[in-house]
Structure 1
Amino acid sequence: MEPIAPARLTAAKKSYAVRRVNFSDYSHLATKAATPKPGDIVLARVQTLGSHKRIELPNGRKATLHPGDEVLLAFGNRYAPDQYEAYVPETLAPCHMVAAGGIAAQATSWHDRLSGPTSVEPVGILCRGDGRALNLADYALPTIACSMPSTVLGVFGTSMNAGKTATAASLVRGFAKSGYKVGALKITGTAAGGDPWLMHDSGAAEVLDFTDGGLATTFGTPLDKIVATTRNLLRTLHRSHCDVAVVEIADGLFQDETRQIASSPLMHSLFDGVVFASGDALGAVAGVNSLQQLDYRVLGVSGAVMQSPLAVREIVMNVDVPAFSLADLQNPTTVSGIMEQTLSGRLAVAQ
């Protein structure tokens, strides 16, 4: 270990991923012998710039990076078909910043359109004077005991960039315009501020994500941890008097954590209904069929596919659920229909 001057921490560019951290808790750096764990906070020095030339600060500003800058990141695994596949390294050898939200990992593959990852050199993992490394989990919202919002709607999708976030934001907008107090929640993915801020801008009264539950990313996180985190975040929304919660699940149904979530009876029991976002008609039909086979109440299809009238026609010819444009989801008439379906679903379960 070596001591670290508070001024050095103050000068470092802090990422969105570490926004909940109280840096006055730290006095030392664990250096060469340290073994990183997901959620550990690392002071790193930028070496060479790759596809990520900026870092997302806690306030949402994208700060330009320069070689030699010191940044505060969190170690985490990443699964992003349009971006990076990356894993927490076993040592503090040079690695990469694999997400603008502030994730340090060793990239093993990436999309062809990317120039490659930004390289960073870990200086050390932040720790207390006794050598204990504090982790993002130490800054998670407290576990509370109360009920959950009366209506919980999920948003699944085919893949990254299928339009899940836009779909969730439109649902938030529609319910807010209809007089509901709406909470938004993203339960899986990689730390990033853009999605939460979009939910705020769409009218959500309270917005939380897995980073509020102490996770930098969720790739590789055990299902029971995701379930417990989700339930506590939903209770936190209820404590803020949200009567509706819109929950986004990252990536597609083939991604391992998403597959486990969709198949989990514990997670299934949380949702009154789900909307499926897709980029194409075949994906929409396959996704709806998969969720219905798991006994989900699929309320409709939306997402990027809605930009194509022909694709929408293919969807409605092949599934028994409606296709909603983003404008539809923001319409109080649609919201009223969704609420009627969720209510009828509750009555059917009760009987």
Structure 2
Amino acid sequence: MSISTNFPAGTRQERPEQSSIGQRLLSAKKAYTTRFLADALEADASGYRLLSGPDVIPVPGDIVLARVERIGQLPRLESPVSRRQALFVGDEVLVAYANRYAPDQVLAEVPDSLGPCHLIAAGGLAGMVTVSHGAVGRPTQLAPVGLLASSQGRLNLKEFAPCALDPDAEPRVRPHVVAVLGTSMNSGKSTAAACLIRGLTSAGLRVAAGKITGTGAGGDPRLFHDAGAVKVLDFTDYGYPTTFRVATTELGSLAASMVNALAAQGPEVIVVEIADGVYQGETRHLLNTGVLHTLVDSVLFAAADALGACAGVELLRAAGHAPAAVSGMLTVSPLAAAEAAAELDVPVLGTYELTRAETAMRFLAPAPQ
């Protein structure tokens, strides 16, 4: 791998021959975001170092060995196989630094030192919480021990990721692609995507699925597998702990790279989810660039309420993405669904209606103009 061999002047290295770092790394609790590192450690845990000191400044994707100092809002850590591991004070964990944007949870950023920080997502992310939702308690506190490194330099998630980003990726010959977007987090996007995957699979089609943006966690990709997708990828497969504050051009390359990789598996349909809501920064930038216009053939929009459904459809049309249907959390309420249906000229479909083959096949029709 190509890694800088220049350590900052103030960096301390804990050498493997001076302590049993390999055993310490093997004993630490790993996370969903560090699952590929976990595989590498199981194969060979030798040759790793830990970097610390005042001149060590983490960046997104850097891997940190940290000690749990206080249990707070997140008392469990999602394991590489998505088991919810209970955390105890004194546990050592291998997690990744990241920025996070989650309106129902927190706003968090990568700190500028290896000082005390927080567990900002149960999927295995470290950062500093700067803003919290009113219903969220104090964060679980971590004390970083050091950044993971080899003899050549610090190690990032991208060094272990099975998929590589092609910065010049352009859409290739591909099957029909359905994008699922929504009004906000928890508007029902992932469940709607899974139900659509199930419906298309029930129609006898091979379906692949991807999650292009979001916060690293195993629930959604595993849900897509359970729904019948023959291949599932998410941004963590490319070494991104989250996609918050990733440059727009890089996100475009990620989207194209993922769709190309999924298309290589020979599916007849690809379903991709774009996280958060249409007002969120990265999502809005993706909508307003040409990338999605060249990648996506039809859109399913998930909304939390009738007003959000109407505003979202209008915004998507203004960006050149006419939704084929609306679904999501609003359909849990027959009254809210009826309100939306009375105002919209696109179908409002119950989330679990999407599991029906005849309903799912509507999304393969030409997009409305």
Give the shorter-chain TM-score range: over 0.9
Q: Distance in 2 between matches of 1:126 and 1:338?
A: 45
RMSD (Å), alpha carbons: 1.5
* Residue matched to 2:330: 305
Q: Distance in 1 between matches of 2:251 and 2:208?
A: 18
Q: 1:26 to 1:246 in 2, by over 3 A?
A: farther
Structure 1: unaligned runs, 5 residues or longer: none
Deviation per residue, 1:228-250 (Å, 9 max, x gap)? 11111111111211221111111
Q: Distance in 1 between matches of 2:47 and 2:135?
A: 39
Structure 2: unaligned runs, 5 residues or longer: 1-12
* Residue matched to 1:56: 78
Q: TM-score, normalised by structure 2?
A: 0.90
* Residue matched to 1:258: 283
Q: Report how far residue 297 of structure 1 moved.
A: 2.6
* Residue matched to 1:162: 187
Q: Which residue identity is paired with 2:69?
A: Q
SS in 2 for 1:276: strand
* Residue matched to 2:6: none
Contact 1:35–1:91 (CA under 8 A) maintained in structure 2? yes
SS in 2 for 1:155: strand
SS in 1 for 2:33: helix
* Residue matched to 2:236: 211
Q: 1:80 to 1:143 in 2, by over 3 A?
A: closer
| Between 264-273 and 54-63, the greater mean CA deviation after superposition | 264-273
* Residue matched to 2:91: 69
Q: Report how far residue 213 of structure 1 moved.
A: 1.3
Q: TM-score, normalised by structure 1?
A: 0.94
Contact 1:187–1:230 (CA under 8 A) maintained in structure 2? yes
* Residue matched to 2:50: 29
- Is 1:11 the counterpart of 2:32? The answer is no
* Residue matched to 1:121: 143
**Identity across the alignment (%):** 43
Q: Which residue identity is paired with 1:80?
A: A
Deviation per residue, 1:278-305 (Å, 9 max, x gap)? 1100000000010011121310000000
Contact 1:186–1:247 (CA under 8 A) maintained in structure 2? yes
Of 205, 208, 220, which residue of structure 2 is paired with 1:180?
A: 205
* Residue matched to 2:257: 232
Contact 1:148–1:234 (CA under 8 A) maintained in structure 2? no
Of 93, 103, 109, which residue of structure 2 is paired with 1:81?
A: 103
Q: 1:11 to 1:148 in 2, by over 3 A?
A: farther
Deviation per residue, 1:176-205 (Å, 9 max, x gap)? 111111111111111000111111111111
SS in 1 for 2:198: helix
* Residue matched to 1:44: 66
Q: Report how far residue 268 of structure 1 moved.
A: 2.3
What is the aligned length?
Answer: 343
- Is 1:280 the counterpart of 2:305? The answer is yes
Q: Report how far residue 316 of structure 1 moved.
A: 1.4
* Residue matched to 1:135: 156
Of 192, 195, 200, which residue of structure 1 is paired with 2:220?
A: 195
Q: Distance in 1 between matches of 2:350 and 2:46?
A: 47
Q: Distance in 1 between matches of 2:293 and 2:68?
A: 42
Q: Report how far residue 25 of structure 1 moved.
A: 7.2
Contact 1:183–1:245 (CA under 8 A) maintained in structure 2? yes
Q: Distance in 1 between matches of 2:219 and 2:242?
A: 15
Q: 1:143 to 1:161 in 2, by over 3 A?
A: closer
Contact 2:328–2:350 (CA under 8 A) maintained in structure 1? yes
- Is 1:270 the counterpart of 2:295? The answer is yes
Q: Report how far residue 328 of structure 1 moved.
A: 1.7
Q: Distance in 1 between matches of 2:175 and 2:188?
A: 25
* Residue matched to 1:90: 112
SS in 2 for 1:269: helix
